[in-house]
């Protein structure tokens, strides 16, 4: 359960998140918006990595800094040190947020890596992996502690199609188990049928609701500034043509 009430945040006087309010409970939500729309900033506020200038955030009725243990987080790839001599197992174990690891913790971490199909890479150096493999290891790290809330910032970047499908399958499964899932994506189409709602933002919140209600030309134009072509509408779902990769 996440509640965001009238939250604003500025970096050096420039407002990145403007008076955003939404709440979610047992849902799978996708955050969409152009580059610089404040998506990662909003996520960092929910994670308690940044403090709102105004407004309030509650995660399971706790302030974000008290909720860290119940959130599994996967940051946007750019923020990960790419040439740090660390092994895959250490990255996944990091997800458990402990100083010392029991045998059970190691089992949990191994299971998470197995979920994403990379158990063979347990002992490998993280920087020797392909970008897509690194993304999947970071996904395993987010799952390792069996969190109540899963927050992922552009998890599918550089991930190949079969691996993406696998990740979506895992998320759909977590969703069924009653987890809260919040995910930032540029291309919503691969997950359109799995998500409950879309949050469309460009610094301010533009629309929040079921995909079939809010994915329309008017809202997309407001968010992206130019006409976003809607490829096809089928069975009530409209698929927008929005960048597959980072611009
Ligand atoms: N650490 C920072 N210091 C100063 N400005 C920042 C910082 N991080 C982000 N910004 C600015 O805040 C705005 C929102 O950035 P943010 O990273 O939240 O956008 P985003 O929606 O995640 O974009 P992208 O799709 O490129 O990941 C941008 O204008 C960005 O330049
Ligand atoms: Mg971002």
* pLDDT(246) > 60: no
Protein residues with C-beta less than 5 angstroms from the ion ligand 2:
39-40, 76
Q: Kindly indicate the confidence band of residue 238, based on its pLDDT and cuts at 50, 70 and 90.
A: confident
Asked whether 211 lines ligand 1 (CB < 6 A), one says no
| Structural domains of the chain, with CATH | 2-240 (3.40.50.300)
- Maximum distance among all Cα pairs of the chain, rounded to whole angstroms: 54
Is beta strand 71-74 parallel, antiparallel or unpaired with respect to 149-153?
parallel
* pLDDT(84) > 50: yes
Q: Point out the ligand nearest to the CA of residue 224.
A: 1
Ligand 2 centroid distance, CA of 185 (Å)? 9
Residue identified by tokens 């927050």 is 151
Cβ contacts of residue 57 below 8 Å, gap of 6+? Answer: 2, 3, 4, 5, 7, 45, 46, 48, 63, 64
Window from 34-48, 162-176, 214-228 with minimum mean pLDDT: 214-228
Q: What is the pLDDT of residue 80?
A: 58
């Amino acid at each position: 359960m996440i509640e965001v009430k009238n939250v604003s945040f500025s970096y050096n006087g420039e407002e990145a998140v403007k008076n955003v309010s939404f709440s979610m409970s047992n849902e799978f939500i996708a955050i969409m918006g152009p580059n610089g729309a404040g998506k990662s900033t909003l996520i960092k506020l929910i994670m308690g990595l940044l403090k709102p200038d105004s407004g309030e955030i509650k995660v399971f009725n706790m302030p974000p800094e008290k909720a860290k243990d119940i959130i599994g987080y996967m940051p946007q790839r750019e923020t990960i040190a790419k040439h740090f001599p660390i092994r895959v197992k250490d990255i996944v174990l990091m997800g458990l947020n402990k100083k010392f690891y029991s045998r059970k913790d190691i089992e949990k971490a191994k299971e998470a890596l197995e979920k994403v199909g990379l158990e063979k890479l347990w002992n490998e150096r993280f920087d020797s992996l392909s970008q897509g493999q690194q993304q999947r290891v970071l996904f395993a790290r987010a799952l390792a502690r069996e969190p109540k809330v899963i927050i992922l910032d552009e998890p599918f970047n550089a991930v190949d199609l079969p691996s993406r499908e696998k990740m979506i399958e895992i998320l759909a499964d977590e969703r069924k188990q009653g987890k809260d899932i919040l995910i930032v994506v540029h291309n919503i189409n691969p997950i359109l049928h799995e998500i409950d709602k879309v949050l469309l933002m460009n610094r301010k919140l533009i629309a929040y609701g079921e995909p079939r209600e809010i994915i329309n030309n008017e809202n997309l134009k407001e968010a992206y500034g130019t006409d976003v072509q809607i490829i096809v509408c089928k069975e009530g779902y409209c698929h927008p043509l929005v960048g597959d990769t980072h611009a």
